[in-house]
Amino acid sequence: MGSEDTRQTFTGHLYAKLVARGIHTFRDDEELEKGGDIASDLSRAIEESKIFIIIFSKRYADSKWCLNELAKIMDCKKEKGSVVVPVFYHVEPTDVRNQGGSFEDAFLEHAKDADQEKKKTIETWKNALKTAANLSGYHLQNQ
């Protein structure tokens, strides 16, 4: 759902409301089996989901996990027509789309000492961000 910087605030409240309404909601810190293979469990959960709400926040791009999840989600959208709803939480959609602001800072950090394989992964992340940020969603500023 969101990155660590929104887990106890917006993402946590949204998760609680969806669950209270009876909507089966997956959140990686709640649903992953303890002791299980996180990457395969998470990949399976993404593949089994139909709707995704992605919370883009200032620190979202700091997380390789979030970026890898996003790339997988965007693959599911392309291959299976999954619904993706972006929420821009205290970030500008253009910063997500073009990797500006805090997203630029994160990608500069990711690019340090990157080999060819890592550079390819970074391009995948950038394309996923651009595609997701071009979708119709919600822009929440100071709310």
Average pLDDT of the segment spanning 80-102: 96
The full set of domains in the chain, from first to last, is 4-140 (3.40.50.10140)
Considering only residues 132 and 65, tell me which one the structure prediction assigns the higher pLDDT.
Answer: 132
What tens digit of pLDDT does each residue of 1-58 get? 444 555 567 888 898 899 999 988 877 655 455 555 567 778 888 999 999 999 999 9
Q: What is the 3-state secondary structure (H, E, C) of 115-141?
A: CHHHHHHHHHHHHHHHHHHCCCCEEEC
Three-state DSSP state, 83:
strand
Instruction: Determine how many CB atoms are found less than 10 A away from the CB of residue 129.
Output: 26
Q: Which residues are catalytic?
A: 69
pLDDT surpasses 60 at 128: yes
Over residues 124-131, the mean pLDDT reads: 98
123 has a pLDDT exceeding 90: yes
Residue 75 has pLDDT above 90, yes or no: yes
